[in-house]
């Protein structure tokens, strides 16, 4: 916000053809220095510049033959100035992520994400829970599998993990007491005879204990 308030362009913004020549490194050095000097003092152009830079890096990630820049000319912090398609991509990633949900530690095992295999689904508990749930229920996958349940607190710290079980339900563990607050849980499918990378994880489900189980 401070940068945006303080930055003010002198003259007009860079034109479309200027951005194209700058991105393709076709500007003569004096003209390039003038353009970059404007970018450092103009919040709008700085945002566009970072968007172009992010797109260029993404292109090199997909195609190593894309030439790298001669040098990193401006080192703005990446997030505040993302623009154009880069900002749209970042926004899409945020919208697809469960709100306020921490990542689940999986002891180094990866989870394979393919479109032709259904993930398990965490069914219950969800929402407000008085006391403690009676059980944990989920929808399994078609492949014969064992299942593991992981419960996290509101800070994303694991508070309990089940043994590997068969079926699609599990009685609430007698030794697990939770204070009032928000918790997350996830079920992980472990295909029988599969590799660690064949594991499938459900989306995080949220439930809130509204009455403490501790007396």
Please report whether residue 71 resides in a domain: yes
How confident is residue 21, by pLDDT bands cut at 50, 70 and 90? confident
- State whether 17 and 74 are in the same domain: yes
**What confidence tens digit (pLDDT) does each residue in 79-116 have?**
343 444 444 444 444 344 444 455 554 433 445 444 45
The predicted model scores a pTM of: 0.48
Mean pLDDT of the residues in the chain: 74
In the predicted model, what is the mean pLDDT of residues 27-49? 78
- CATH number (domain holding residue 129): 2.60.40.1220
**Rounded-to-integer distance, Cα 97 and Cα 85, Å:** 19
Poorest-confidence range of 130-144, 167-181, 184-198?
184-198
Res 152 pLDDT > 70: yes
Nearest to 55 by CA among 92, 16, 27, 82: 82
Residue-range definition of the domain harbouring residue 193:
121-209
**Rounded-to-integer distance, Cα 180 and Cα 6, Å:** 46
Poorest-confidence range of 12-16, 139-143, 163-167?
12-16
Please report whether residue 56 resides in a domain: yes
Please report whether residue 215 resides in a domain: no
Please report whether residue 111 resides in a domain: no
- State whether 80 and 130 are in the same domain: no
Instruction: Look at the chain and report how many structural domains it folds into.
Output: 2
- State whether 69 and 28 are in the same domain: yes
Please report whether residue 102 resides in a domain: no
């Amino acid at each position: 916000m401070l940068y945006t308030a303080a930055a003010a362009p002198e003259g007009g913004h860079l034109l479309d053809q200027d951005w194209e020549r700058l991105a393709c490194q076709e500007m003569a050095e004096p003209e390039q220095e003038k353009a970059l000097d404007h970018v450092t003092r103009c919040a709008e152009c700085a945002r566009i510049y970072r968007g172009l830079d992010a797109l260029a890096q993404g292109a090199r990630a997909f195609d190593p033959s894309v030439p790298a820049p001669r040098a990193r000319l401006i080192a703005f912090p990446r997030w505040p100035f993302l623009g154009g398609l880069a900002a749209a991509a970042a926004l899409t990633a945020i919208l697809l992520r469960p709100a306020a949900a921490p990542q689940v530690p999986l002891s180094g095992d990866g989870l394979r994400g393919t479109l032709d295999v259904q993930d398990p689904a965490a069914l219950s508990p969800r929402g407000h829970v008085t006391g403690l749930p009676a059980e944990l229920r989920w929808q399994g996958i078609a492949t014969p599998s064992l299942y593991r349940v992981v419960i996290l607190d509101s800070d994303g710290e694991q508070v309990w993990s089940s043994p590997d079980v068969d079926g699609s339900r599990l009685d609430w563990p007698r030794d697990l007491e939770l204070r009032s607050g928000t918790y997350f849980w996830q079920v992980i499918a472990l295909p029988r005879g599969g590799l660690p990378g064949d594991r499938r994880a459900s989306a995080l489900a949220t439930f809130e204990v509204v009455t403490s189980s501790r007396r």
